[in-house]
């Protein structure tokens, strides 16, 4: 074990004495030490629930034979930091997070890692650290925020909040109307509702094989998120036993068509769909690079947008299915799912039909 460097041999007796000072037993120290990088804090809405996620991850690690050890990572909420000097401090935290995580892991010689991020620069910072350290690692994010509802029943989200401010300055919404949006746009913990940095990065983390299925889509307040965290804790022990490392996963996928540039597609939504519609081996829950095939989804690009990626969209169920369930529907090819999607004056019929286990076809009429 990598951690033997701090806990085995007479020369490491001083090190062990400090580990015993932490309350660890000899049995715990004989197991692999798994670092849990907790980004919990009380200022970022997407991070206020991470303490519960971390406890669930710890339970999973213990259940699979490891000893979990928690240490922190910082996180900035871009939504709170924007509009003042604070925004100048957001991007730099990506490197601070990567550097500090690398320092903690190297200093204490962990055998594996579970990253628990959620928002903005916190996710890429931990991805950078994972690639640098290259020890068995898995991600489990905190999950997205639920959509809000106005008094008249309309769904709303943070995007509408910005629009409400603009409407106020345009004279089409009064201060009471702004207040209604303000109090209802963000009704729960979780990453901001919309395809902003947090949700995009969490979905892409899943797409490149560094997180389990549902990492980017299960809402923060759902109990399924806690089950996912326990599964992540158990899965990192499987990665440790098989010595599967981040670069093994990321570099294999990188050889396939995953690197579409911003110039190729007109919106982040298209990049999101392109990078996430892929097959994953359900046994290992990681991308099967050998049998990797893209879903036949390219016809989507003849349309500017087929669905709204915001949690407040009326067509979110269709969007969620296209992303989340299509790769896992019955591989026998005997069933198909049809969605009628309306976007403005454009009406589309989307038919998802499985062909082989690693591929689905999508027809758009």
Q: Tokens standing for 70?
A: 């928690």
Among 46, 36, 38, smallest CA distance to 73 is for 38
* Alpha helix ranges (H) inside the chain: 4-7, 13-21, 26-29, 50-63, 78-81, 92-108, 122-133, 158-169, 175-184, 197-207, 223-242, 246-254, 268-276, 316-320
List b or e across 253-290, with b for residues whose CB sees 16 or more CB atoms inside 10 angstroms.
beeeebeeeeeeeeeebbbbbbbbbbbbbeeebbbbbe
Higher pLDDT, 308 or 157: 157
Higher pLDDT, 313 or 105: 105
pLDDT at residue 327 above 50? Answer: no
pLDDT for position 351: 52
Let me know: does 28 contact 63? Beta carbons within 8 Å.
no
Q: How far is CA 214 from CA 21, 49, 86, 137, 228, in A?
A: 38, 17, 32, 17, 8
What mean pLDDT comes out for the span 298-310?
40
For the segment 69-99, what is each residue's pLDDT rounded down to a tens digit? 999 999 999 999 999 999 999 999 999 999 9
Higher pLDDT, 285 or 269: 269
What mean pLDDT comes out for the span 163-168?
93
Place of tokens 């990665």: 239
Instruction: Give 301-333 as a DSSP string.
Output: GGSS-SS--STT-TTHHHHHIIIIIGGGS-TTS
Cα–Cα dist 19/67, whole Å = 12
Among 318, 317, 279, smallest CA distance to 296 is for 279
Question: What does the mean pLDDT of the chain come to?
Answer: 78
Cα–Cα dist 309/159, whole Å = 11
Per-residue confidence band for 287, with pLDDT thresholds at 50, 70 and 90? very low
For the segment 195-207, what is each residue's pLDDT rounded down to a tens digit? 788 988 888 888 7
pLDDT at residue 250 above 50? Answer: yes
Cα–Cα dist 296/352, whole Å = 10
pTM (two decimals) = 0.75
């Amino acid at each position: 074990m990598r951690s033997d460097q701090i806990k085995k041999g007479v020369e490491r007796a001083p090190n062990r004495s400090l580990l015993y000072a932490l309350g660890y037993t000899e049995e715990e120290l004989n197991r692999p030490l798994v670092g849990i990088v907790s980004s919990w804090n009380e200022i970022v809405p997407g991070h206020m629930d991470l303490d519960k996620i971390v406890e669930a991850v710890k339970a999973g690690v213990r259940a699979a034979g490891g000893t979990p050890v928690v240490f922190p990572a910082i996180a900035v909420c871009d939504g709170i930091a924007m509009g003042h000097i604070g925004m100048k401090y957001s991007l730099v935290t990506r490197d601070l997070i990567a550097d500090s995580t690398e320092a903690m892991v190297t200093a204490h010689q962990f055998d594996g890692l579970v990253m628990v991020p959620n928002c903005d620069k916190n996710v890429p910072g931990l991805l950078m650290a994972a690639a640098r350290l290259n020890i068995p690692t898995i991600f489990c994010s905190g999950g997205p925020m639920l959509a809000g509802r106005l008094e008249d029943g309309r769904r709303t989200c943070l995007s509408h909040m910005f629009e409400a401010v603009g409407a106020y300055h345009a004279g089409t919404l009064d201060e009471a109307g702004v207040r209604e949006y303000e109090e209802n746009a963000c009704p729960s913990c979780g990453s901001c509702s919309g395809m902003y940095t947090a949700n995009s990065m969490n979905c892409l983390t899943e797409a490149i094989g560094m997180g389990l299925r549902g990492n980017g889509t299960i809402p923060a307040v759902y109990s399924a998120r806690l089950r996912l965290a326990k599964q992540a804790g158990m899965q990192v022990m499987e990665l440790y036993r098989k010595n599967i490392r981040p670069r093994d996963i990321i570099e294999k996928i990188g050889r396939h068509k995953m690197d579409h540039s911003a110039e190729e597609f007109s919106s982040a939504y298209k990049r999101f769909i392109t990078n996430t519609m892929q097959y994953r081996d359900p046994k290992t829950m990681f991308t099967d690079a050998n049998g990797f095939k893209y879903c036949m989804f390219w016809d989507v690009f003849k349309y500017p947008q087929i669905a709204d990626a915001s949690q407040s969209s009326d067509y979110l169920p269709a969007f969620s299915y296209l992303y989340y369930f299509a790769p896992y529907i019955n591989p026998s090819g005997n069933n198909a799912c049809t969605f009628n999607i309306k976007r403005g004056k454009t009406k589309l019929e989307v038919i998802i039909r499985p062909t082989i286990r690693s591929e689905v076809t999508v027809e758009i009429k």
